[in-house]
Amino acid sequence: MGPWILEHWDTDGAKSFCSNGSRAALAVPGAPEGDLVEVISSGEAVLLRRDAKGGVGIRMPEGEGFGLRPVPMPTAHPAGFGWIGNPQLVLRVPSVTSIDLPVFAPPLRHHAALPGGTNVSVVEVIAPGEASIRSWERGVEGETLCCGTGCAVAAAWLAHMEGPTRWRLHTAGGEDVSVTLTPEGGGGWRDLWLSGSVRRLGHVQPDPSLRP
């Protein structure tokens, strides 16, 4: 049996890889059984892993083309940039709560150095291996409760910069996610796992006109 195929669309109608959407898909009725599920998510090869507490982890895309890259523009704060199936700009700030994200993020999200734009996250390191994060997502064009790919790239950048390879990130939604990875040379990574809780909030019945 081949991998489970998922496709994700942003609210603006564009299709993009979404790690949290992939994790949440395991809560959908009819999702594949088993502790490990191979997935092609919007064209990216990932692995989903159920845990005993009802959470789901995702092993992010890895290999050639994925990893940290030079930051393409000057920034007012230390910054990292990475490709993880979508572009992620992460800036380390003294306090995430002091950032006016609707003012701060859009000029970076639409910067001319990135023709396709980028997601923008700000991160505040609290202790070794622990940080707070807020994210402004392209396609949504606003702050979201948790950007999984943003959390993953933030942790990968912090691991390369500071050493810890296991990070606990406090998200704007009030729930924590954990990220573990093995950093590799040149800004790459291996076994980059994002894990957190997944729960079903409701049931939506698609309009019959949307069915094939």
pLDDT in tens, 95-107: 999 999 999 999 9
Co-location of 47 and 108 in the same domain: no
What average pLDDT does this structure show over 186-201? 92
Domain of residue 86: give its range: 67-197
Quick: pLDDT tens for 169-187: 999 999 999 999 999 989 9
Asked if pLDDT for residue 202 goes beyond 70, the answer is yes
> Does 207 fall in a domain?
no
CA distance 81 to 113: 12
Contact assessment for residue 194 and residue 166, using Cβ atoms and an 8 Å cutoff: no
Q: Which of 147, 188, 193, 201 is nearest to 167 (CA)?
A: 193
- CATH number of the domain to which 188 belongs: 3.10.310.10
Co-location of 93 and 161 in the same domain: yes
CA distance 189 to 62: 7
The bridge status of strand 36-41 relative to strand 4-6 is parallel
Co-location of 178 and 98 in the same domain: yes
Quick: pLDDT tens for 24-68: 998 888 899 999 999 999 999 999 999 888 899 999 999 999 999
- Number of domain units in the chain: 2
CA distance 118 to 94: 22
Name the one residue in this structure whose structure tokens are 């996610």. Answer: 177
> Does 117 fall in a domain?
yes
Co-location of 134 and 35 in the same domain: no
> Does 203 fall in a domain?
no
Co-location of 123 and 40 in the same domain: no
Co-location of 116 and 137 in the same domain: yes
> Does 46 fall in a domain?
yes
pTM: 0.93
Co-location of 112 and 30 in the same domain: no
Percent of the chain with pLDDT over 90: 81
Co-location of 23 and 72 in the same domain: no
Mean pLDDT of the chain: 93
Q: Which long-range contacts (CB under 8 A, 24 or more apart) does 45-53 make?
A: 45/3, 46/19, 46/22, 48/22, 48/23, 49/193, 49/195, 50/26, 51/195, 53/197
Co-location of 169 and 101 in the same domain: yes
- Between residues 136 and 139, the one the model is more confident about: 136
Per-residue pLDDT band at 210 (split at 50, 70, 90): confident
Give the three-class secondary structure for 193: strand
Using only C-alpha atoms, what is the Rg of the chain?
A: 17
Co-location of 146 and 192 in the same domain: yes
Using CA atoms, how far residue 77 sits from 41, 73, 94, 120, 122, in Å, is 32, 11, 9, 13, 10
Asked if pLDDT for residue 112 goes beyond 90, the answer is yes
**Token pair recorded at residue 66:** 């994925």
CA distance 121 to 128: 19
Residue 203: per-residue pLDDT = 78
Lowest mean pLDDT among 12-21, 81-90, 182-191: 12-21
CA distance 4 to 14: 21
